[in-house]
């Protein structure tokens, strides 16, 4: 399930992972950057259903791009992590199905810059964060430890620890 394109990156030490990595959906690491996967991580949940034709893609797009996934991170199916700079997912986090995390704007905002890369930031997801299904996390977002991101949220901005956030755009719904 950890697809062949990953082999070259593994040999070049662009992808590193600790022991007990479990893959249950086709997973591919693409790009020129670095991916670090912690101990006892799980990507995908069971073969079949919504993941039958899907995949998990972890893309550290450029030479200095970096994606750091902590220990004991568990994901559901069809996850897309795309870093032009830096994405970090803290230990013990849970990620639902169909989640996208991007640390940059894929295209420029101005009409004459649409074919160029837009603004680049970073994304920090704290420890023990639970991200629901169909969530999009955008550049310059920080989600504090122990927080929950409700299904369907579009996250942009900084959120403290121990809160539930949700909505489009996401806002604090309550403290926990």
CB atoms within 10 A of CB 117: 14
Catalytic one among 26, 104, 107, 112? 107
Q: CB within 8 A of 49, min separation 6: which ones?
A: 77
Whole-angstrom Cα Rg for the chain: 16
Does residue 107 carry a catalytic annotation? yes
In angstroms, the Cα distances linking 53 to 21, 37, 67, 82, 135 are 22, 24, 24, 20, 20
Lookup result for tokens 């004459």: 112
Strands lying side by side in the sheet with 171-175: 22-23, 42-43, 74-75, 94-95, 130-131, 148-149, 163-166, 171-175
To the nearest 10°, the Cα dihedral for 84, 90, 91, 95?
Answer: -80
Catalytic residues: 107
């Amino acid at each position: 399930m950890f697809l062949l394109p990953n082999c070259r990156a593994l040999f070049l030490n662009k992808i590193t992972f600790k022991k007990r990595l479990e893959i249950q959906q086709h997973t591919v690491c693409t790009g020129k950057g670095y991916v670090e996967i912690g101990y006892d991580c799980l990507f995908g949940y069971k073969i079949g259903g919504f993941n039958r034709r899907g995949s998990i893609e972890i893309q550290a797009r450029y030479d200095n791009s970096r994606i750091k996934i902590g220990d004991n991170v568990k994901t559901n199916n069809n996850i897309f992590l795309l870093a032009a700079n830096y994405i970090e997912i803290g230990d013990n986090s849970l990620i639902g199905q169909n989640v996208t995390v991007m640390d940059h704007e894929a295209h420029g905002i101005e009409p004459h810059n649409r074919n160029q890369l837009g603004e680049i930031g970073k994304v920090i997801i704290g420890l023990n964060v639970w991200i629901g299904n169909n969530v999009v996390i955008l550049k310059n977002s920080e989600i504090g430890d122990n927080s929950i991101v409700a299904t369907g949220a579009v996250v942009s901005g900084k959120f403290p620890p121990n809160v539930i956030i949700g909505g489009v755009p996401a806002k604090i719904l309550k403290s926990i």
